[in-house]
Every structure is written in structure tokens, then in C-alpha cells.
Amino acid sequence: MELPNAGYRQQVIDVLRDLVRIDTTNPPGNEVEAARYLAALLSPAGIETCVLESAPGRGNLLARLRGSGEGKPLMLMGHLDVVPANPSEWRYPPFAAEIHEGFLWGRGSTDTKNLIAVWAVAMLALAHLKPPLKRDIILAATADEERGGTLGIAWLIQQRPELLGVACALNEGGGGAIKVGERLFYTCQSAEKGLCRTVWTARAKGGHASHPRQDLSTFKLARALSRLGDGYVAGRAIGTMRRALNLIASSQSGQTAEQVERLLDQGHIEEALRVAGFDEKGIENSRPLFYDTASPTGLRAGDPASINVIPVTATAYVDGRILPGQTREGFVQLLRDLAEEEVEIEVYQGQYAPGLESSVDTPIFRTISQVIAERCGGVIVVPWTCAGATDARHLIPLGVPVYGFVPEKPLPEGLEEAGAHADNERLWLDNLIFCLEVLYDVIYRFCTQA
Ligand SMILES: [Zn+2]
């Protein structure tokens, strides 16, 4: 379904510029101003809105466009807060929303004020057109995602537990185009890795540095860490990535798909990617999506002022990222088995969160796939995994499937974007329009065909 009026293309740019100009740097956040802006934009069109403050200044917007209620609601989500920006590192001021060479420059222009502008304008278009909606459309534009979502989506679903009754939620992440061989695919984020951070401690008798020994705490720790190899500690294809590779390989031939399947069964991940058509760079980029990983990011032992003293303890801090299905106990045991040495390995300050996966055998995933196939000459949408985390982590464990899909065409040769958290963050405006057109179509179809 096409947008009912070309004016919405201009409006989505205007709304995004307005949102970027409201400084919602977290901390402190001050998202309430952006939430109130959206409420004022949406309520005159007959959309029910409510601004809820989780703490002073920490505003969350809930907006609802009513349907007949035949189907469960669709939730559209995004976060209003942004990470800090240091103006001295920027070519144009980070909160001015200037447009240069077809790009909108500003903090939040890709993460996720663009998505919120798209949701708001799509809802306005539907409110004016009044198609027979079979389900409600709920917008949750929340605070605090960049610092864990405690004052945002996590708080909101405690206040409004009925939000958990939605059919599914559309979110940030995903939607990027990947090229495999000569073919283009769009990714839809349906899984996220979890994390399990650990602290490793090696102990030994102290002593004088003139008499080294095999069992120095520093040697023990170094030997243990070296057994992590390149940090890719356990590989496996979760359902999401197995499906993705199957779709990619099947687009070449049934035989290729079978071969890829076999290689995955045997645990030959890199070879499976190669046969599916990924080049070396593509394989490197995708590897974290197939492995539990462990990166030693901090080391502590001794003191340069006491260079002649053997330290009693040596400690390493290891950031672990785990696939859906891996557990805290399973991952720690895996590290202990790998380390072999006498090092104690414990979870660091309780920093554990499981990886999460949503099924893609769902009407919304099929709708997204149909819309892209029709609009982009048969391009296939593949489910994908995020190596980091989004607010989806607060919803998936409570039974709400979440899909990250912010469709983005590949940039023409010579143009350069800067994405989430980067200095000079900027969005190619053609992609903002593309995103609006695609997501409007997705929402329209999903909500009129319940
Ligand atoms: Zn972010």
C-alpha cells in the first residue's frame, strides 16, 4: 500500500529534524520534552496519547490508534534518548539537524529518532486515511534505552502490563542490506546475543622477582587467557542463522542449501558461510553471530613501582557474548574447561543476560518479506542476529516477539553514512523516505489483514 499523500515524505523529515533538535542526551535524558512533542503532534489526529514520567524529566510516550480489536495490537517501539555527542568532533553541530548533501546530520538521526519519526508519520497517515484496522497500533517511544531501559520500556511494561498482550513489536536494529556474492538481501533482526562477563583470578605465593617459577600468578593467567585463542570459543548455528543461511543458499540452488545444512550440522561454520557465498570479509563480519565469544578487556597484577616483587594475584576481566540458548553456568564451565590452569572464573558483578530469539514463522515476518519482495524486485528478507542488545531484551522473555527492521538501501558509490553512536552521525534522507514507505506498507497490511 502506497502512502496516501506525498506530503508525508516531507513531514517525516520535518519531524525527525524537530526530534534531533530536542537534546535528549542520556544522561540526564530529559526525554519528556520529546514525548510531549510527539503527543502534541499525534493527538489532533485522533490518536490517543499519554506521556508517562518514570522519574523527573524521563518521559515515555504511549500512543494508540484504535482498530476493531479482531487481532492483537501491533507495537511500534523506539527510544527517545541518545548517547552524548562532543561538538568538537562534529562537522556540523550535533543537535542542529542540518541537511547537507542529502544527509540529515545529528545525534539520534539513525538511533532511533529516525524510526520514531517514521512511526509517528505512518500513524498520522493511517489516522487520516482511516482504513479498516483489525488491530490497534501502539507506539511506545521510550526513555533510557542507552543505559539499559530501566526508566524506559522496563518501567513502562510494569506500569502498563497490558502492553504484553500485543501480537508482536517492531523495533530498531536490522533492515540493513547485505550483499552475498552478487545478490542483495535485507536482514530482519529476530535474535540478540546475550552477555556473560567474567573475572579471572590466578593466585600464587609471592616472592622475589630474581627467582621466577612456572606457577607465578601472572604466568598462570597469561597461559589461561592464551587458551581463548582468537576469542571465538564455541560455535553453533542458532535457528535464526540456520534459517538465514538456508534462504541465502537456496537462492542459488537446492544443492547449495543442502551442502550448507550439512556443514552446519558438522560444525564447519566458516566453510558453510563460504559455500553460501560469503566472501572473507563477510565471513569475518558474521562470525560473532555464530559463536559464544570472550574478549579479555582488562588486566590487573602487580605495580610498576614494585617491579621486583612477584604479585600474589593476577586478574583478568573478560567480556563474554553468548548465543541464545547458552546459559550462565554453561558458559562459565566452558571457560573453566578451556582455561585448564588454576584460575578462578566467576561472573563479574552479576553481569549476565541471556541471548534471545523470536520465531520468524509469524505473520509479521511474512508481511515484511512480502513487502520487500514486491517493492525491491524479489529481494529476500533473512532473519538475523544482533551481536549487541536492544530494548527487545525486556519484551522477548515476557513472550512478546520483537523484530528489528529499519530498512536501508545500500548507499550509492561515494556516499558515506555514520551510524549509531558515531561522531558525525547522519542519515541519508532517501533512506528515511524508503523506510517510511516500506514500514507504512508493512503496518497497513499487517493491521488490515488480521
Ligand atoms: Zn544507541
CB 373 within 8 A of CB 380: yes
- Predicted confidence (pLDDT) per residue in 9-41, tens digit: 999 999 999 999 999 999 999 999 999 999 999
- Predicted confidence (pLDDT) per residue in 183-209, tens digit: 999 999 999 999 999 999 999 998 999
Residue 395: which region, alpha, beta or left (left: phi > 0; alpha: psi -120 to 50)? Answer: alpha
- For residue 4, pLDDT over 90 is answered with no
92-118: average pLDDT: 98
Q: Residue 225 is which amino acid?
A: L
Name the pLDDT band for 392 (thresholds 50, 70, 90): very high
Name the pLDDT band for 450 (thresholds 50, 70, 90): low
Q: Kindly report whether the global pTM for this prediction surpasses the value 0.85.
A: yes
Percent of the chain with pLDDT over 90: 96
106 burial via Cβ count (<10 Å: 0-12, 13-18, 19+): buried
Going from the Cα of 351 to the center of ligand 1, the distance in angstroms, rounded, reads 19
Query: Residue 285 has what pLDDT?
Result: 94
Name the pLDDT band for 119 (thresholds 50, 70, 90): very high
Going from the Cα of 433 to the center of ligand 1, the distance in angstroms, rounded, reads 21
Rounded distance between C-alpha atoms, residue 348 and residue 162, angstroms: 35
Going from the Cα of 155 to the center of ligand 1, the distance in angstroms, rounded, reads 19
Going from the Cα of 317 to the center of ligand 1, the distance in angstroms, rounded, reads 24
Going from the Cα of 31 to the center of ligand 1, the distance in angstroms, rounded, reads 14
- Predicted confidence (pLDDT) per residue in 261-319, tens digit: 999 999 999 999 999 999 999 999 999 999 999 999 999 999 999 999 999 999 999 99
Going from the Cα of 174 to the center of ligand 1, the distance in angstroms, rounded, reads 13
74-92: average pLDDT: 97
End-to-end alpha carbon distance in the chain:
15
Neighbouring residues of the ion ligand 1, judged by CB less than 5 Å: 111, 420
Rounded distance between C-alpha atoms, residue 118 and residue 127, angstroms: 14
Going from the Cα of 352 to the center of ligand 1, the distance in angstroms, rounded, reads 20
- Predicted confidence (pLDDT) per residue in 320-342, tens digit: 999 999 999 999 999 999 998 78
CB 291 within 8 A of CB 270: no
Rounded distance between C-alpha atoms, residue 275 and residue 112, angstroms: 35
Query: Residue 216 has what pLDDT?
Result: 95
Going from the Cα of 79 to the center of ligand 1, the distance in angstroms, rounded, reads 9
389-408: average pLDDT: 96
Give the mean pLDDT of the chain.
Answer: 96
Going from the Cα of 113 to the center of ligand 1, the distance in angstroms, rounded, reads 10
- For residue 75, pLDDT over 80 is answered with yes
487481532: which residue's cell?
A: 71
Q: What's the grid cell of residue 430?
A: 532517501
330 burial via Cβ count (<10 Å: 0-12, 13-18, 19+): middle
Rounded distance between C-alpha atoms, residue 21 and residue 13, angstroms: 12
7: phi then psi, degrees, rounded to nearest 5: -60, -25
| Residue-wise burial string across 275-305, b where 16 or more C-beta atoms lie within 10 A, e elsewhere | bbbbeeebbeebbbbbbbbbebeeeebbeee
Q: Which CA distances in Å does 212 have to 69, 87, 115, 234? A: 75, 51, 59, 34
